C-alpha cells in the first residue's frame, strides 16, 4: 500500500521519507537508488516534523491512528485504513497528456472507482492529449491578439466548443 502512495508522490515531485520497521523490497530499492529517504524504525511523532503531506499506511490500525493524532493542523493527512481520521482522500486518476480526470466514490467502493476510470479512458483516449496541445496554441494566439476582452472570451469559448464537439 505504501509503495502505491510513494509512486504517486514521486510522480508529483515530492521529497519522500519512509518510516517503517521493515519496508517492502520495492521501497528498499527506491531507497538504495536515492529516490526516497528510509528510516528503518518504529514510528514516533517526531517523524512528522517538517512534513507537508503525511500518509499513514502501516498494517497496524493503532499505529495509523497514532500517526493521524500526532499530525498538526497544518499537515495534510491520509490514513489508508481509516479514511475519516485523515483530512484528504486519494482518488484514482487518469492522465492523458495535460488532461487529468480524477474519480472518487467517497470511499464507498474503490474498485468501482477504478472501473469508472477504465470506462472514461475509452472515451478520453490519446486524441485528447493531442487536441489539448493544438488547442493550447490556438488559445495563446487569441490571448495575444489585439481583440477586446469580450471578443477574446467569445473566441475562446468557440475554440473549446469546436474541439469538444470534434472529439
Ligand atoms: C478512502 C480511501 C483511502 C484514501 O483516501 O486514501 C480508500 C479506502 C480503503 N480502500 C480499501 C481497500 C481497497 N482499495 C483498493 C484500491 C484503491 N483504493 C483507492 C483509494 C481509496 N481507498 C480511498 C477512497 C477512494 C474512492 O472511494 O474512490 C485507490 C483509488 C487509490 C489507491 O489507493 O492507490 C485505489 C483504486 C483502484 C484503482 O485505481 O484501480 C482495493 C483494490 C486494490 O487494491 O486493487 C482495495 C481492496 C478491495 C476493497 O476492500 O474494496 C479499504 C479496506 C482496507 C482493508 O480493510 O484492508 C479502505 C479503508 C476503508 O474502506 O475504510
Ligand atoms: N486505501 C487503500 O486503498 C487500501 C488500504 N489497505 C490498507 O493498507 C494497510 C497496509 O497494508 P499493506 O501495505 O498490505 O501492509 P504491509 O504489511 O505490506 O506493510 C505494512 C508496513 O508497516 C510497517 N509498520 C508496522 N508497524 C509499524 C510501526 N509501529 N512503525 C513503523 N512501521 C510499522 C511494517 O514494517 C510494514 O513495512 C492495511 O491497513 C490495509 O488494510 C490495503 C489495500 C488498499
| Per-residue confidence (pLDDT) for residue 68, from 0 to 100 | 98
Average pLDDT over residues 54-81: 97
Q: Cα of 53 to ligand 2 centre, how many Å?
A: 17
Question: For the chain, what are the domain ranges?
Answer: 2-85, 92-123, 126-166
pTM of the model: 0.92
Q: Give ligand 2 pocket residues (Cβ under 6 A).
A: 1-2, 19-24, 42-43, 57-60, 63, 80-81, 110
| Per-residue confidence (pLDDT) for residue 10, from 0 to 100 | 97
Q: Are 128 and 97 in contact (CB under 8 A)?
A: yes
Q: Helix crossing, 2-11 with 25-32: angle to 10°?
A: 30
22 Cα nearest atom in ligand 2: 35
| Per-residue confidence (pLDDT) for residue 47, from 0 to 100 | 98
- Which residue, judged by its Cα, is nearest atom 54 of ligand 1? 81
Q: Please state the ipTM of this predicted complex.
A: 0.94
Average pLDDT over residues 38-65: 98
Mean pLDDT of the chain, nearest integer? 96
| Per-residue confidence (pLDDT) for residue 89, from 0 to 100 | 92
Which CATH architecture fits 2-85?
A: 3-Layer(aba) Sandwich (3.40)
Amino acid at each position: 500500500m505504501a509503495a502505491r502512495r510513494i509512486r504517486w508522490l514521486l510522480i508529483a515531485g515530492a521529497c519522500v521519507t519512509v518510516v517503517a520497521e521493515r519496508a517492502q523490497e520495492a521501497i528498499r530499492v527506491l531507497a538504495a537508488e536515492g529516490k526516497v529517504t528510509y528510516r528503518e524504525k518504529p514510528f514516533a511523532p517526531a517523524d512528522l516534523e517538517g512534513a507537508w503531506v503525511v500518509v499513514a499506511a502501516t498494517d497496524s490500525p493503532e499505529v495509523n491512528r497514532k500517526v493521524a493524532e500526532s499530525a498538526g493542523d497544518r499537515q495534510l493527512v491520509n490514513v489508508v485504513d481509516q479514511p475519516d481520521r485523515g483530512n484528504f482522500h486519494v482518488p484514482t486518476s487518469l492522465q492523458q497528456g495535460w488532461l487529468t480526470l480524477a474519480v472518487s466514490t467517497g470511499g464507498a467502493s474503490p474498485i468501482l472507482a477504478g472501473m469508472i476510470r477504465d470506462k472514461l479512458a475509452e472515451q478520453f483516449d490519446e486524441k485528447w492529449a493531442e487536441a489539448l496541445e493544438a488547442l493550447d496554441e490556438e488559445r495563446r494566439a487569441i490571448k495575444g491578439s489585439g481583440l477586446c476582452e469580450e471578443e477574446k472570451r467569445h473566441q475562446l469559448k468557440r475554440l473549446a466548443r469546436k474541439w469538444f464537439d470534434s472529439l
